[in-house]
A and B are shown apart, each in its own frame.
Chain A
Amino acid sequence: MAKGDPGAATRSKRAAPRTRRAAATGEPELVQLLTPEGERIETALGPDGTEYRVDFTDDEYRGLYRDLVLVRKLDAEATALQRQGELGLWASLLGQEAAQVGSGRALRAQDMAFPTYREHGVLYCRGIDPIMPLGLFRGVDQGGWDPNEFKFNMYTIVIGAQTLHATGYAMGVAMDGKTGGEDGEAVIAYFGDGATSQGDVNEAFVWASVFNAPLVFFCQNNQYAISEPLERQTRVPLYRRAGGFGFPGVRVDGNDVLASYAVTRHALDTARNGQGPSLIEAYTYRMGAHTTSDDPTRYRIASEVEAWQAKDPIARMKAFLLKQQIVDESFFAEVDEQARTESVHLRERVLNMPDPQPVSMFDHVYPHGSAELDEQRARFSQYMESFEGSAH
């Protein structure tokens, strides 16, 4: 992994001009380590000359593939559950698996993540039971995991708000003296391309920069904010915004799990070493609807979706594993079977998720309760009991 040394950066830029990479991908300045055809690229260069590479064992490659497939399958199961009326809503990550698994696996145990409502893949990588976000979308709770235990904050629905939380948390990490070495802590904030228009996100950029917060801004540019295409949010490639705020930005092929990993790992290490924030733009595509209540046929064309289909993150990993003879066909069957079993299991557990007791809505408003609320709760219980035995 390259160091953030500016001298080294200039040297490597000369060694391999980025125009060559641009020609290879058709996307300017896109860091890529695995082509859509499954070809490995040994080293890729970032816009500042940083060299990105990965050095995985065969087992680790297999593990990444397994993650991608599992995450996609669980997501598909949740979409199906929504269609069958078991979830009120679902925000699918279909197409964004590589960006999420790559960045999620790049996190070290001590790192903290601040997600949006779509980071099911990162959540999975943090070791959280995939049933957790389903409670929120089923309407039985508002996201029930312990952010501190899993180092993965609650989902954030209000666009961009979490980027400021991440910044403050990262400032706290620095204030606690937890940066400056390999075992330092880093923080990652997830958000979408649409979110970059929000004041909060721009304020987060300012704060992170001037306080040199150990933070990685991870933008999954999936090309749309509900119906609005990227052009409605920006006239410049998003990663280039970072420069104006005073920290580095890089665009990575978000459908390439290896590059997503390498770029994130580097940015996190830079942050944990005390070198401040950076912005990663994971260039990807939302293959499905924005959420299950959206109708993408109103605003996008099939050929665009097909073009992105050809860049599928799982297919290219599969092609790579086969080409390199890291696995044989039986491996894929085994992974598929595992994914199927886990999704069936998930489904069963969702169907058995009980509705909360109505009176529980009064819980946790204040850490130590309030007399006023206790009274409301008591009156409410009494009122509910008055219906006992009736048809209510």
Chain B
Amino acid sequence: MATETLTLGKALNTGLRRALENDPKVVIMGEDVGKLGGVFRITDGLQKDFGDQRVIDTPLAESGIIGTAVGLAIRGFRPVCEIQFDGFVYPAYDQIVSQVAKMHYRSQGKVRIPMVIRIPYGGGIGAVEHHSESPEAYFAHTAGLKVVTCANPQDAYVMIQQAIASDDPIVFLEPKRRYWEKGPVDLDAPLADAYPLHSARVARPGTDATVLAYGPMVRTALDAATAAAEDGRELEVIDLRTLSPLDLTAAYESVKRTGRCVVVHEAPGNLGLGSEVAARITEECFYSLESPVLRVTGFDIPYPAARVEEEYLPDLDRVLDAVDRTFGW
């Protein structure tokens, strides 16, 4: 049987394995990705099976990881870089936004950087500082990069392979607190038939209001929809999946039907993805909107100490509260 129940983490591991099998030019590189299998074990067993030339433990230097991957990519490899935690991507930030993002443009299309930068991101695991951040807006703001995030094991398995196969440099955000959540994964469906990488998807159909979420917040939005249904309100949940480019076709269609929209993300609200989404939906769906597009986000503070992160992170109640407000307008 082709469909198995896997955790999101294991689905990524299996997707990476497939990519290594299918293309000898794929190399995985990062800190502790070899023997240890990564601190989240996403690369578990891969070095054992593919060797240390394909699964490379790098020196402890993020700028080095990304910068050398640029060179490898120019040389014809397809590097898949692991940044150990969201808060450690910044030493590599210069390489990513100044170099990775611009090579194709500057060379008038002659140089391709088919690189994937995997980053476990977001909070909710009780970690110390620098281990719970949501840096997506920094990258989404940079033209030339693509930014995607998966929310369930099936997408994790497929999207990581699609990202590796893509000729674009892709920042691949992994919702770390969902690593251990299980779901069905169709392991045998051909990649060519898979749902396209840069497109949003309706995660739960509904009629009364539209909730847009991505990554770790999709689960939260779905839980909110379940709770709302008990109160007789049908929320449509859309998993954005792709943050740059943003695919809002499903969102426009949905909001035109429901007339109400709530955008949810963990990152601080100020200039977050939600701002862009709200602006575009307002432009596109203005005459259908019954109320302003609302955002449920983290606060505009540095990610707080773990013992108050439950209050920082948008949860089911805050989503439902926003939904209530869109109805109260």
Contacts and interface: CB of A to CB of B under 8 A. Distances in A.
A195 interface: yes
Nearest to A225: B60
Given A159-B60, A233-B60, A372 B306 contact: no
Interface in B256-271: 270
B61 A361 contact: no
A138 to B, nearest CB: 7
Interface string A221-233: 0000111100011
A380 interface: yes
A287 interface: no
Contacts of A372: 270, 300
Contact of A88 (B304, B306, B312, B317): B306
Contact of A139 (B34, B60, B61, B126): B126
Nearest to A141: B305
A298 B129 contact: no
B274 interface: no
B91 A361 contact: no
A358 B299 CA distance: 12
Interface in A195-235: 195, 197-200, 225-228, 232-233
Interface in A76-97: 88-89
B305 A362 contact: no
Contacts of B270: 372
Contacts of A380: 299, 311
Interface residues of B, number: 41
A293 interface: yes
Contacts of A299: 35-36
Contacts of A341: none
A360 B308 contact: yes
A358 B313 CA distance: 12
Pairs A-B, 10 closest by C-beta atoms: A139-B306, A227-B36, A197-B59, A194-B60, A361-B304, A358-B311, A197-B61, A299-B35, A355-B307, A139-B307
26 contacts: A139-B126, A142-B129, A157-B87, A194-B60, A197-B59, A198-B60, A199-B63, A199-B91, A225-B31, A225-B60, A228-B59, A232-B57, A232-B58, A232-B59, A298-B36, A299-B36, A356-B305, A358-B308, A358-B311, A360-B308, A361-B312, A373-B300, A373-B301, A376-B299, A376-B300, A387-B317
Interface of A: 88-89, 117, 135-142, 157-159, 194-195, 197-200, 225-228, 232-233, 293-295, 298-299, 355-356, 358, 360-362, 365, 372-373, 376, 380, 383-384, 387, 392
